[in-house]
Amino acid sequence: MRLARESTVRCVAVFRGAVQGVGFRVTAKSIATNYPVTGYVANLPDGTVRLVGEGEKECVSVVIQRVLHTMQGNIRDHSENWEPATGEFSEFEIRRVAR
């Protein structure tokens, strides 16, 4: 586990709609890898997708906004929970199912 810097944040975003089985996770990972953001994107058993991103707030926010824009036809709504980063991630990955 890496130590999180004070200026880093964590956002847990949950996307609802037709978000599973449409390339959502691959798209989110593709977007996230263009920014200094770590974390994961995963399907949840209830049909939603969770994205956990850590990094500078501006970068994490841009990743979420780009996902929202790119997948807008599939997203009915979403929620975001912002908190201090934990530093637990070393990269951004796709998880099959959130644990």
Closest of 39, 41, 31 to residue 86, by C-alpha: 39
What one-character-per-residue DSSP string does 2-32 give?
PPPPTTEEEEEEEEEES-SSSSHHHHHHHHH
Indicate which residues carry an active-site annotation. Answer: 25, 43
Phi-psi region of 39 (alpha: psi -120 to 50; beta: other; left: phi over 0): left
